[in-house]
Amino acid sequence: MNTRALDERRQKAASKWDELQNNRVPLIYIGAASCGLAAGAAEVQEVVENYLKKNGIEGRIIQVGCIGPCYLEPLMDVQMPGKPRISYSNVRPSDVPLIMESFFEKNEVAESRLAGHFGDAEFDGVPRFFDMPMLKPQVRIVLRNCGIIDPDDLDHCLARDGYLGLEKCLSMSWTEVLEIIKRSGLRGRGGAGFPTWKKWLTCRETPSDQRYLICNADEGDPGAFMNRSLIEGDPHAVLEGMLIAAYTIGASQGYIYIRAEYPLAIKRLKKAIVQMRGVGLLGQDILGSEFSFDIRIKEGAGAFVCGEETALIASIEGKRGMPRTRPPFPAVSGLHGKPTIINNVETLGTLPHILRNGAEWYAGSGTETSKGTKTFSLVGKVRRTGLIEVPLGMTLREVVFDIGGGTLKPFKAVQTGGPSGGCLSEEFLDTPIDYEHLAEAGSIMGSGGLIVVDSDTCIVDTAKYFLGFTQKESCGKCVPCRVGTRHMVKLLEKICDGRGELADLEKLEKLGRTIKNGSLCGLGATAPNPALTSLKYFRSEFISHIKDKRCPAIVCKSLVNYRVVAGKCTGCQRCVSVCPTGAITGPRSEPHNLDRSKCIKCRSCYEICRFDAIAGDAIIIES
């Protein structure tokens, strides 16, 4: 297929899309990304299908990706003919009949679980979906199609200008494309924020008969899911980005290295690749040009360090995923010794939009040094969790409080950059989110994980968690990282167990510095960050553990105890039935006994006591 043929296909796709917007039959959209499915979207869809069938209603169900506010999942939208699409949130299967009846029998907009409508104009007093506090401050560039289109339908993507960026790219020389990317100010979204054009230029200028492009979809930061959502919601954006990058650097073979924990994303990519082949967007002479490119998918096998570019290359070559020293950088000598560019999913997913709308348009958002937008996974103890996209330069406070709605308990900290980043306290809330400011505060931008914690989270425990993670994931090649992180974990365990000494704090800091300076790759060089920032900004919490043998957040197991409050316990026996070790005993209607020697502190009794609220808070955890 050449450009003209693709344009014809796009025109057909556009009328198909128009028909969908001006639908004649009712449409039901189901948010069926991994998060939606985990919340029960499939069960909701089943009830919808049954309802339509039973009542002989001609309607269509369309599965879409994640639109962002995951805390509202499962999301289901109803679009009646001639009406805007109306979204319902936290829909349980048992809610479906009521919503359906309202639309189909009473011809009214259902009111329960109503979230908002997608139209531009006012509609029947229903609020606009995108006016929700979580969505309003966002600028959706990379995520513009997520949750809107059916990701499995190439026509949806084409109708919304998919592959127009590529067409534009193919009409220019590689130097012209590079110039646009340079002017856009795009920096790598995988963590380090290296200017994308610079890396590309190095690769292109290295003489070689073969160059490779690798899409890094390893997303190893536990607690981050931006890349998964983008691939699941709009796979073609990432694939189009790969074509643009490959054209510019002169690569003929591409790989997508994606973690095996993302089965749905892998499925979407495979399907999208088949669709691309079908219309001549992959293979020889793409769209009638002289540019040829193909893509293979490589599934990761569960190693965090394989997100690091040299380890990733080793893994694709079928070896242990061990990083090597750089230089030479992969842009000069990478996969099979050939010049190789590794770009993050989001970096690639941004390219089509820049090509289509121009560098200046993109550079219009963001700050002087950090242009454009960035996606974040906003998770942890924040009220509104989910996937967001904001212009760089927005402050942490705006993200955590305006978008995220703040925390239930008092705010304590926000961790950016995952296991390589830092834990920032309240005083940093007005820090603009960009590469420089976060680095100044002792953290990093990272790939976009934002984990918010409140007064119920123990900072020492969190630091122990991160160090434990990096220590387990250390590939073991270099000593500072392999041995040093183990020592740091031991020290943190000691403190959490109430056996710590004040001298341990200096030891931690010293070790941290040594590991940072002596490690071979980014994993070790950043591993101490969470502990070092916590020590700097939350030292008193460490000291409580050491001096008072108290965990202020009531988390560290060795320092907390469970107790039945005799005056409050009604003897309902619910806790007795859930206690896995038989630590709680007592006859019905009399205050129960808790045997501390048997208690494993699993929290079951505490939860059921709250849950049933007969006794309410008759079981407390104290430190």
Of 89 and 196, nearer to other proteins (C-beta) is: 89
Give the residue among 197, 180, 190 at the shortest CA–CA distance from 249.
197
Local structure of 293: helix, strand or coil: strand
Helix axes of 485-496 and 459-473: crossing angle, nearest 10 degrees: 150
CB of 148 to other proteins, least distance (A): 19
Q: Give 132 or 303: the residue with its C-beta nearer to ligand FMN.
A: 303
Residues 219-248 that bind ligand FES (CB under 6 A): 222-223
Question: Is the CB of residue 353 less than 8 Å from the CB of residue 165?
Answer: yes
Query: What is the rounded CA–CA span in Å between residue 86 and residue 81?
Result: 12
> Which amino acid, one-letter code, is at 382?
V
Place of tokens 């499939």: 42
Contact 166, 192 (CB under 8 A): no
Which residues of this chain interact with other proteins, rule CB under 8 A? 34-35, 37-39, 70-71, 73, 219-225, 228-229, 260-263, 298-299, 301-304, 315-321, 377-381, 385-387, 415, 418-419, 449, 451, 453, 457, 462, 465-466, 469, 475, 578, 580-581, 600, 602-604, 607-608, 611
Least distance in angstroms from the C-beta of 39 to ligand FES: 12
x/- track of binding to ligand FES for residues 167-206 (CB under 6 A): ----------------------------------------
Rounded (5°) CA angle 103-112-48: 50
Q: Say which entry of ligand FES, other proteins, ligand FMN, none residue 309 contacts (CB below 5 to 8 A, set by partner kind).
A: ligand FMN
In terms of CB distance, is 223 or 337 closer to ligand FES? 223
Rounded least distance, CB 378 to ligand FES, Å: 13
Query: Which residue ranges make up the site for ligand FMN (CB under 6 A)?
Result: 188-192, 194, 216, 218-220, 305, 307-309, 342-344, 347, 447, 521-523
Instruction: Return left, alpha or beta for 323; rule: phi > 0 is left, psi -120 to 50 is alpha, else beta.
Output: beta
Cβ of residue 339: shortest distance to other proteins, in angstroms?
18
Grouping H, G, I as helix, E, B as strand and the rest as coil, residue 387 is strand
Q: At what angle do helices 96-104 and 41-54 cross, to 10 degrees?
A: 40
Instruction: Identify which of residues 223 and 278 has a Cβ nearer to ligand FES in the complex.
Output: 223
Q: Helix crossing, 502-518 with 529-537: angle to 10°? A: 140
Q: Which residue is nearest to ligand FES (CB)?
A: 223
Q: Which does 451 bind (CB under 5 to 8 A by kind): ligand FMN, ligand FES, other proteins, none?
A: other proteins
- The sign one gets for the Cα dihedral 238, 239, 242, 244 is negative
What helix, strand, coil percent values describe the chain, rounded to 5? 45, 15, 40
List 255's β-bridge partners, or say none.
Answer: 214, 296
Q: Between residues 379 and 515, which has the closer beta carbon with respect to ligand FES?
A: 379
Q: How far is the CB of 355 from other proteins (least distance, A)?
A: 28
Nearer to other proteins by Cβ, of 248 and 415: the residue is 415
Instruction: Select 225 or 411, whichever has its Cβ closest to ligand FES.
Output: 225
Q: How far is the CB of 148 from ligand FES (least distance, A)?
A: 24
Q: Could you tell me the sign of the dihedral formed by the alpha carbons of 355, 360, 364, 366, in that order?
A: positive
Residue with tokens 């108290």: 550
Tokens 């073609």 identify what position?
A: 236
Residue 237 contact among ligand FES, ligand FMN, other proteins, none, beta carbon within 5 to 8 Å by kind: none
79 contact choice in ligand FMN, ligand FES, other proteins, none (CB below 5 to 8 Å, kind-dependent): none
Asked whether 595 and 583 are in contact (CB, 8 A), the reply is yes
CB of 445 to ligand FMN, least distance (A): 10
Is 585:592 a contact under the CB 8 Å cutoff? yes
Q: Omega into 69 within 30° of 0, i.e. cis?
A: no
Supply the minimum distance, in Å, between the C-beta of residue 323 and ligand FMN: 7
> Minimal distance in Å, beta carbon 604 to other proteins?
5
* Shorter beta-carbon distance to ligand FMN: residue 188 or 528: 188
Residue corresponding to tokens 């096998």 = 301
Q: How far is the CB of 377 from ligand FES (least distance, A)?
A: 8
With CB under 5 to 8 Å by kind, the binding choice for 350 among ligand FMN, ligand FES, other proteins, none is none
Residue with token string 């010794």: 337
Report the half-sphere exposure of 219 (CA within 13 A, side-chain side).
24
Residues engaged in binding ligand FES (CB under 6 A)? 222-223
